[in-house]
Structure 1
Amino acid sequence: MSCFKQALLVLAHLRKNETLTQVGAGFGVSEATAWRYVHETVEVLASWAPGLHEALVGLGEGDFVILDGTLIPTDRIKADEPYYSQKHKKHGMNVQVIARPDGTPLWFSRATPGRNHDLTAARGHGIVQACLTRQILVLADRAYQGAGATVRTPYYGHRDLPEHYQQYNRDHAGLRAPGERAFARLKSWRLLRRARCSTNRIGRTVAAVHTLLTCQYSG
């Protein structure tokens, strides 16, 4: 196959989430060959994805970003306890995102087992410390409460909160809402709606898709 057709095969696999047997048959190659093309291309694309500190270049005091987490569902069984998310009630891998105020993703984390709490994951990836060092304001949901001085989360409570606290929560939600677009764009690649691959490969796949999204924005 030509380089163009190899790339097209990989794009079809990521976008449509067809099995390697199906996508291979569509391009007239074996399952093993399709797997090799996908593996090699994903590795190349993933190597071009920005690191955390690279993604934050140019941001500093006075800027703000949106921090959120999502679950990439996987085909796991109940015995795989580390991958079970109590929040989502399903097995999967936790991925964190830092997005611009308009929802454009700046950085996606590596994938960690789904039982990891969002705050634990954010600290483990160095997100909290990196934003604190640069004095970047971070807007996040209640899962990140207690993260640090530069992380702003909503107040707990609803009707019992004073009006100015309720107004703060409304304003906070409005500013944070575009962050959902980052995950919507990520999961427009159907492979990440329910991953059938090894959990060890999901993080590299996310990084590869991020590279493709970046090319789409720049184009």
Structure 2
Amino acid sequence: MDLQRITGLTSEQLTDLTAGVHHRLGLLAQPGGRPAVLGLYRSIALAVALHRHNLTQDLAGAIFDVSQATVSRRWDLLRPLIAAELTALIPDPAQITGTSTALVDGTLAPTWDWKTTEGMYSGKHETTGFNLQLAATLSGDIAAVGPTPASGARHDAHAYYASGLYDPLIDSDSILGDKGYQAHADISPTKKPQDGELSQEQEANNAVIDSVRAAVERAVAHLKTWRMLQSRYRAPLSKFPEALAVIIGLYFYTRYFKAYE
């Protein structure tokens, strides 16, 4: 099995991550007991693959030749440990943006429509999900992702603070957002006044801002190569924050860090 292809991690990165999780977890099977049906190295690969491809647990079990129940147990066991192991590798946004303007935007991570959970429906996207907040550089590199997902019904201006994205960006040179961030970002397009029109200067300024904002839209698309954030999330919503933490950590791990450094 080509684990690099299915996880997006090199063999060195996967080994390094496995060693870190082993330090936190210890042995999968107790000494003298039955051997683990799936070793820790392949279990880490399984957990990463679930996040990268949003596989059903039944399909993941078929790929790794284990039962769906084993996949479920491994995901629940390893998800918080992987997130904790990678947290220290998430850089300060200032290390990525430098003194440049940070671009902010929101995106919806679609979920199943759980009838017991209110406030998840996004009228803008016409589906249920979490509002994720992201900051990017002018060249389209992800600088930060808000670690706390907001409900899909919440406006970007609210989610900007509720997601935890505002605080790490507070020392940025300036923040640029779309019309949803007016009064919350240093730079944003001018809204058309009620029963009025924008001036030519305002329209020209909006066009410039929109052209700059294209970079953060590319960053959003790059984050969503982790399919758990792109295709519909199926697991209980209570597990999503840890899954998001895993994806954020893996993104920066694969983007900026080499194993054994």
TM-score greater than 0.5 by the shorter chain:
yes
CA RMSD of aligned residues (A): 2.7
11-20 or 88-97: bigger deviation: 11-20
**Would you identify which runs of 4 or more consecutive aligned residues in structure 1 move more than 6 Å?**
none
Note closer, same or farther for the CA distance 1:79–1:86 as it changes in structure 2 (3 Å cut).
farther
Note closer, same or farther for the CA distance 1:90–1:210 as it changes in structure 2 (3 Å cut).
same
Match of 2:150 in 1: 112
The one-letter code matched in structure 2 to 1:108 is V
Match of 1:99 in 2: 136
Note closer, same or farther for the CA distance 1:59–1:102 as it changes in structure 2 (3 Å cut).
closer
Note closer, same or farther for the CA distance 1:28–1:127 as it changes in structure 2 (3 Å cut).
closer
Q: Tell me the secondary structure at the aligned position of residue 119 of structure 2.
A: helix
1:50: how far off? 6.0
Match of 1:187 in 2: 224
Please give the alpha-carbon distance, in whole angstroms, between the structure 2 residues aligned to 1:61 and 1:196.
37
Q: Which runs of 5+ in 2 are unaligned?
A: 1-37
Match of 1:171 in 2: 208
Would you say the 8 A contact 2:190–2:206 is kept in 1? Answer: yes
Q: Tell me the secondary structure at the aligned position of residue 82 of structure 1.
A: coil
Please give the alpha-carbon distance, in whole angstroms, between the structure 2 residues aligned to 1:121 and 1:207.
17
Would you say the 8 A contact 1:60–1:136 is kept in 2? Answer: no
1:151 aligns with 2:190: no
Note closer, same or farther for the CA distance 1:178–1:49 as it changes in structure 2 (3 Å cut).
farther
Q: How does 1:191-210 map to 2 (within 5 A)?
A: 191-192=228-229, 193-210=231-248
What's the TM-score, normalizing by structure 1? Answer: 0.85
Note closer, same or farther for the CA distance 1:66–1:8 as it changes in structure 2 (3 Å cut).
same
User: Which of 48, 53, 57 lines up with 1:11 in the alignment?
Assistant: 48
Note closer, same or farther for the CA distance 1:213–1:99 as it changes in structure 2 (3 Å cut).
same
Please give the alpha-carbon distance, in whole angstroms, between the structure 1 residues aligned to 2:190 and 2:116.
36
1:169: how far off? 1.1
Q: How does 1:73-88 map to 2 (within 5 A)?
A: 73-77=110-114, 80-88=117-125
The one-letter code matched in structure 1 to 2:140 is G
Match of 2:104 in 1: 67
1:18: how far off? 1.8
1:123: how far off? 2.3
Q: Tell me the secondary structure at the aligned position of residue 152 of structure 1.
A: coil
Would you say the 8 A contact 2:150–2:162 is kept in 1? Answer: no
Please give the alpha-carbon distance, in whole angstroms, between the structure 1 residues aligned to 2:225 and 2:43.
21
Deviation per residue, 1:15-55 (Å, 9 max, x gap):
22221122112212222221222233322332223699x62
The one-letter code matched in structure 2 to 1:215 is Y
What's the TM-score, normalizing by structure 2? Answer: 0.72
Would you say the 8 A contact 1:59–1:136 is kept in 2? Answer: no
Identity %: 27
1:37 aligns with 2:74: yes
Would you say the 8 A contact 2:104–2:135 is kept in 1? Answer: yes
How many residues are matched? 215
Note closer, same or farther for the CA distance 1:2–1:86 as it changes in structure 2 (3 Å cut).
same
Please give the alpha-carbon distance, in whole angstroms, between the structure 2 residues aligned to 1:74 and 1:61.
35
The one-letter code matched in structure 2 to 1:167 is A
Please give the alpha-carbon distance, in whole angstroms, between the structure 1 residues aligned to 2:197 and 2:83.
47
Deviation per residue, 1:91-115 (Å, 9 max, x gap):
1111111122222222212112111
